[in-house]
Amino acid sequence: MAKDVKCEVNNCKYWAEGNKCIADTIYVVSHTGKQAKDVQETDCHTFVPTV
């Protein structure tokens, strides 16, 4: 398991100083079914916008 998960989306509820993700779990999905060929075919569904 990764020690540090980086995130540059600073309007996410789970963003912390130093571009760290502080979510307990991370959910990433593919646009193309169960497999993705590259990063552009994926999305992080953990994202929650800040108010």
pLDDT value, residue 3:
82
Q: CB 21: neighbour CB atoms within 10 A?
A: 19
Per-residue pLDDT of the chain (51 residues; tens, 9 = 90+): 778 999 999 999 999 999 999 999 999 999 999 999 999 999 999 999 998
The residue extents of the domains of the chain are 1-51
- In order of 11, 20, 33, 48, the CA distances from 6 in angstroms are 14, 5, 25, 15
Which letter does DSSP use for residue 49 in this model? Answer: B
Structure tokens at 41: 């075919």
Q: Residue 2: what pLDDT?
A: 77
